[in-house]
Amino acid sequence: MNAPVRVGELLNRPYFRRAEVIATPKALERNVRWVHIIEITNVRHLLDGHELILTTGIGWKDEEEVSLAFLRQLIDLNAAGLCVELGTYAKQPSERMKKLALEADFPLIFFHEEVRYIDITRDLHTFFINRHHQMIASLDQLTNRFNHLLLSGKGYTPLLKLLQEKTGKLVAFLPGGGPAVFIPPLPKPVQTRKLEEWRRQKEKNVRNGKRSAFRPVVVMNQAAAELWIDGEEELSEFDLLALDRCATAVAQEMMRTMYVEERRKHKENGWIEEWLSGGLKDAEIDEYAAAMEPEVRDGRIAACVFELDRNTFRSPESENALLQRIIFARSVFTGAGFTAIPVPGARHLIFVLAGLKDRGDWTEALAKAIEKLRKLDKPGGPAVFAGLAGVGPAVRGILRLPESYEGACACIDIQKTAGPLPRPFYTELHVYRLLPMLEKTGQLNALVRDYLGPILSDGEGSRQLLKTLKVYLQYSGAKQETANALYIVRQTLYNRLDKIAELIGEDFMAPEKRLMIELALFAYEYRYGPIN
If one counts every other C-beta atom within 10 angstroms of the C-beta of residue 48, the result is 11
Rounded to 5°, the CA angle 236-75-43 comes to 100
Q: Between these two residues, 478 and 12, which has the higher pLDDT value?
A: 478
334-349 pLDDT, tens digit each: 888 899 999 887 788 9
Distance CA 273, CA 290 (A): 17
313-326 pLDDT, tens digit each: 555 556 677 777 88
Q: Is 176:199 a contact under the CB 8 Å cutoff?
A: no
Rounded to an integer, what is the distance from CA 167 to the centroid of its chain?
Answer: 28
Rounded average pLDDT over 465-491? 93
64-123 pLDDT, tens digit each: 888 888 889 999 988 989 998 888 777 777 888 889 999 999 999 998 888 888 888 898
Rounded average pLDDT over 347-373? 86
The strand pair at 108-111 and 81-85 is best described as parallel
pTM above 0.75, yes or no: no
pLDDT at 513 over 80: yes
**What integer pLDDT is reported at residue 396 of this predicted model?**
93
pLDDT at 379 over 60: no
15-26 pLDDT, tens digit each: 888 888 999 999
30-75 pLDDT, tens digit each: 888 888 888 888 887 888 888 898 988 887 777 888 888 888 999 9
Please report, rounded to a whole number, the percentage of residues in the chain having pLDDT higher than 90.
Answer: 40
450-460 pLDDT, tens digit each: 999 999 987 77
pLDDT at 1 over 50: no
Q: Which long-range CB contacts under 8 A does 135-138 form with residues at least 24 apart?
A: 135/1, 135/2, 135/237, 135/238, 135/241, 138/1, 138/2, 138/166, 138/238
**What integer pLDDT is reported at residue 447 of this predicted model?**
92
pLDDT category of residue 228 using cuts at 50, 70 and 90: very high
Sign of the alpha-carbon dihedral angle for 51, 55, 58, 61 = positive
Distance CA 519, CA 516 (A): 5
| Listed range (244-258, 351-365, 477-491) with the worst mean pLDDT | 351-365
